[in-house]
Structure 1
Amino acid sequence: MVDTNKLVAVVTGASRGIGKGVALELGQRGATVYVVGRTTAGMSQVSAGGRPVPGSIDKAAAEVTAAGGHGIAVACDMSKDDDIQALFERVKAESGHLNILVNNAASLHEDMGKRPFWEAPIKLADIIDVGLRCHQVATYYAAPLLVAGGRGLVVNISFYSDAKIHDPAYYAAKAGLDQLAASWSEDFVPRNVAAISLWPGFVRTERGEEMLGDKKEVFEGMGMESPRYEGRIIGAVWDDPEMMALAGKTVIGAELGERYGVTDLPGFHPKSLREFYGPPHPRFDLE
């Protein structure tokens, strides 16, 4: 018999950054968290540009358990449909249901901001595969488990569509995530599952700090969000008895933080970048 009272979550791209932060916040709630990524403790992972990246799913899962949850590391190449299918078959076998799916995996490259775009590596097009397509596949396999849980939440980690600091493929993927959340909702809402697309601000991730190197002091005064802030936002959405009112919407993390009274780890309130980078598409916007 499925114990639907047990909070079960899958977080992709959880070796580091926002994904790891979300996993840790859910772990503090006592959740079973499937920490999904390619980097295992025994494997040195490199970025698409060939740069070594920090963190591992094993370390992150151990931290989830230490925080009070049950962290389960799952090695999964999100570019491979069979890997994704196997992930959710494991969730079904071990937990029987799923409450929260966080679609966060992405293929990032150090040359994403290079202009003109045609002088950047063509490999940046992989962002559309691991960053958009993989999340359609993941949600496809997760859907029956979300419905089985009786109440579900899917969160696509997206970004401001007019920031103009990354490669066109990056923004195509993020715009696609916003549309997917809206389209999924047509089938999910009658089954008590809410799908949203979430725009964080600039986040001080481990990888970002490594890439900034000696220049990172430039960002000290920008009020960058911690990787765990979006996890707190997702927790607040889950706790909201009116969660279904957000279904199909593209929401800005800092604006939800203000709505729910959620602060970041240092105790400050991140600010919305709507004024600088524009709002979500009017069809998806809460305003």
Structure 2
Amino acid sequence: MSRDMVSAQHFYSGVLDWEFRASRLGDGFAVAFLDGAPVAGIGALTERFVIPVAWTPYFAVVDADVTAARILERGGTMAVGPLAFGTGRAGLAADPTGAVFGFWEGAVVPDWSVGRGSAPAWLELRTREAYAASTFYGEVFDWSGERPGCCVASYEHDHVVVRHGHDTVALIGGGALDEAPDPEVRPDWHVRFPVPDLEEAIEATDRAGGSTASPVHTSPMSRWVDLADPEGAHFTLVAPHDPPGQAPAR
């Protein structure tokens, strides 16, 4: 969500080579495409929504009212909605620790799927209590695998991994935040976008008025960095990493 959609589209076009197209949700929402595939959406924040500019994951649900009730029953907070929006109904909520997320009941853009091709590599919830968070989201969104087509959550290597079929769509990690309460540091969802060249994307971010929000992190398989756009919305870019002296990972 952005307060200046034109500037936001210009920034992400320059950094990630996105092309924006109108959608069935009206003038206040545009879908970003890369190589002909939908990867993200940017919506216009109005003055009546006193919420920060941010990237927010929206989870598809069958019934928005049932989802809102589940959120409240399990200690979460409903910030907006559910409200009619374009071709469906949307809600904005926060889990018991304050991490903000959305949900959507209605038609989705065809071929829009996290974890595939140019789409976000995955969504990551950085929180203090991964197990409690996985219980909350699992019960709200029915991540038990019992309903056909739904996601399944499992605990793997100190993370809760959420998969849709064979695609990893979300990670929930605990212990990454300081235990001491800090109003500037709270649990939140991060969106990871894949790029072929991390340094090139960082330079493009600087040229377009964004900023670097973390050092570059490295693992045997990838490298990633947290960035912020000119309005302060944080996002993460991840690129392949081939250790020196070794063949590229496959």
Bigger strand share: 2
So what's the TM-score if we normalise by structure 2?
0.34
Bigger helix share: 1
